[in-house]
């Protein structure tokens, strides 16, 4: 977590231009710590504290923000977090949705003014009404998320990461990559900082990690997702995959706004 976070936060103003805030959520079993800040990640004392503090987590979602909608304010920083029936849900978005209506019922509504938090509230209100409290199985959740993605991706670019602490969903609307690390581990060098870690020396055969990010964080062999790929990771493995086509008009938008987007990164580990 410290390794990936160091490379990732460098993109918050140092090696890239995502200067409108940042955030990271990490699950510790059922609880989730959320740190958000409206300052650029490379200047944030809190990001600096986190780089030095050895939190351990099997499930992390991080975000560096390049604002499209909503000012650089705390309530507009990703990831967003909501509790539903005893589970913390965390969401981060890279893209730009236009014309999504405010929820007219359900418990969840945005604090801030981003399209992203609004989309998350739509997802959470749907999960509240459509997923029975007794049936929060990963495959049931996948089916609901797949339907919601089909509805929401019509509003614009919608790359996202979503987790309930157990599984992690990732959708590629325009750009997303991942790498799977498994035994025997090799070493990896950060693209955004001069730091190499030999995972072979640190990890055991029981370890396994998936790292998902807008663009690769290391010099390892990353898998480049296709627009429309919806992935579900669990315990460091890719567990299920579906294709939710990106509407043609949204694909066209992506071509003109690739470098304007925010950055997403997450890890799922066993």
Give the residues lining the site for a second copy (CB under 8 A). 28-31, 33-34, 36, 45-46, 49, 53, 73-75, 82-88, 107-112, 128
The least distance separating a second copy from the CB of residue 111, rounded to whole angstroms, comes to: 5
| Bridge-based pairing state of the strands 177-181 and 187-189 | unpaired
Q: Tell me the three-class secondary structure of 79-104, residue by residue.
A: CEEEEECCEEEEEEEEEEECCCCCCC
For the CB of residue 249, give the shortest distance to a second copy in the complex, in Å.
30
Closest CB 31 distance from a second copy, rounded Å: 4
The beta strand positions in the chain, using DSSP E, are 22-28, 31-37, 59-64, 80-84, 87-97, 156-163, 168-171, 177-181, 187-189, 196-198, 209-213, 223-224, 229-234, 237-243, 263-269
d(CA 253, CA 251): 5
Phi and psi (nearest 5°) for 10? -60, -30
- Nearest approach, Cβ of residue 38 and a second copy (Å): 9
Nearer to a second copy, 37 or 96 (CB): 37
Residue closer to a second copy by CB (options 113, 147) is 113
Task: Please classify residue 256 by burial: count the beta carbons closer than 10 Å to its beta carbon, then call 0-12 exposed, 13-18 middle and 19+ buried.
Answer: exposed
CB nearer a second copy, residue 104 or residue 194: 104
CB of 241 to a second copy, least distance (A): 29
Least distance between a second copy and beta carbon 194 (Å): 26
d(C-alpha 187, C-alpha 142), whole Å:
33
Rounded CA gap, 140 and 131, in Å?
8
Between 38 and 229, whose beta carbon lies closer to a second copy?
38
- Which residue's CB is nearer to a second copy, number 25 or number 231? 25
Rounded to whole angstroms, the Cα distance separating 244 from 169 reads 13
Nearer to a second copy, 49 or 183 (CB): 49
């Amino acid at each position: 977590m410290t390794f990936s976070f160091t490379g990732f936060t460098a993109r918050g103003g140092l090696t890239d231009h995502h200067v409108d805030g940042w955030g990271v959520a990490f699950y510790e079993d059922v609880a989730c710590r959320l740190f958000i800040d409206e300052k650029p990640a490379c200047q944030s004392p809190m990001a600096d504290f986190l780089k030095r503090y050895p939190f351990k987590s099997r499930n992390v979602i991080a975000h560096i923000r390049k604002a499209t909608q909503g000012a650089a304010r705390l309530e507009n920083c990703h990831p967003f977090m909501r509790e539903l029936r005893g589970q913390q849900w965390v969401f981060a978005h890279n893209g730009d949705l236009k014309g999504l209506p405010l929820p007219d019922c359900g418990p969840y509504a945005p604090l801030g003014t981003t399209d992203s938090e609004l989309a998350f509230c739509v997802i959470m209100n749907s999960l509240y009404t459509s997923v029975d409290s007794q049936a929060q199985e990963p495959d049931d959740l996948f089916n609901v998320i797949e339907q919601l993605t089909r509805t929401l991706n019509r509003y614009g670019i919608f790359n996202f990461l979503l987790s309930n602490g157990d599984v992690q969903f990732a959708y590629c609307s325009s750009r997303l990559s991942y790498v799977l690390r498994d035994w025997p581990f090799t070493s990896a060098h950060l693209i955004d900082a001069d730091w190499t870690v030999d995972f072979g020396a640190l990890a055991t055969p029981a370890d396994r990690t998936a790292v998902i990010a807008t663009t690769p964080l290391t010099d390892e062999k990353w898998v480049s997702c296709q627009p429309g790929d919806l992935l579900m990771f669990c315990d460091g493995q890719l567990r299920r995959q579906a294709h939710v086509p990106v509407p043609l008009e949204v694909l066209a938008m992506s071509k003109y706004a690739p470098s304007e987007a925010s950055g997403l990164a997450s890890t799922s580990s066993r």
